[in-house]
Amino acid sequence: MIAYLEGRLLKKETDRIWLLVNHVGYEVLVPAFVMNSLENNSVDDELSLYIYFHQTERSPRPVLIGFNREAEREFFEIFISVETIGPLKAVKAMTLPVEEIAAAIESRDTGVLKQLSGIGERMANKIVATLQGKTGKFGAFRKVVEQREDVGGMTVEKEAAAQVIDVLVSRLGYKPFEAREMVAAAMTRNPSIADPESLFEEVYRGGRIAGEGHQ
């Protein structure tokens, strides 16, 4: 199974890209929010994507769906657990960033969910009923992004650590000492981290982040 690709951009279409990896070209479907993030990428640019691989007996042709972050791919896997939302419908539906969709699910904001392509009132309610309580950590990433500040040197590391600890405690329910341990471990694994987004991603990759309401 293909989980990650890193190579050279060959072509961009409306809903997919072609990626050249070790002399093999891969066609990768991407949600609209991912395509928007590739707006400034041109042919021959180096590119890396986390991949959701889809192939079943009913649909034997392999389909690759690409994301910028591992957390986005995991959210996608949770999103398609909703009845009648399969991978192909989901990749078309996700016109908003994962953080916004997750925040809408946790706050029961069906108005935002209905902005997704092909999602009406009934399906929006089904998404909330199925996923509320399971997507808190993805919405928490949005707060990290919103809190980001442009500062320099060691101040960046301290500011990043403070912001991520705040999110872990106030949004995800960790005790302060747990949050500090998680952040310290992440910065030990990757000492080059200097901004809150990267730090939150490293904490996430450490595998300890639970959903909202952790006790």
Q: What is the pLDDT of residues 42-98, one digit of tens each?
A: 999 999 999 999 998 887 889 999 999 888 999 999 999 999 999 999 999 999 999
User: Which residues partner with 7 through β-bridges?
Assistant: 47
pTM listed for this prediction? 0.71
Predicted local confidence at residue 54, as pLDDT: 93
Q: What angle, rounded to 10 degrees, do the helices at 196-205 and 136-147 form?
A: 160
Predicted local confidence at residue 31, as pLDDT: 97
Q: E-strand spans in 22-175?
A: 24-29, 46-54, 63-67
Predicted local confidence at residue 141, as pLDDT: 62
Predicted local confidence at residue 208, as pLDDT: 59
User: Strand, coil or helix: what is 8?
Assistant: strand
**What is 23-57 written as a DSSP string?**
TEEEEEE--HHHHHHTTT--TT-EEEEEEEEE--S
Neighbouring residues of 131: CB distance < 8 A, sequence distance ≥ 6: 78, 79, 81, 82, 105
Predicted local confidence at residue 209, as pLDDT: 63
Predicted local confidence at residue 156, as pLDDT: 54
* pLDDT lower than 50: segments of the chain: 148-154, 212-213, 215
Of 2.40.50.140, 1.20.1260.10, 1.10.760.10, 3.40.50.10190, the CATH number of 1-134 is 2.40.50.140
Contact 110, 98 (CB under 8 A): no
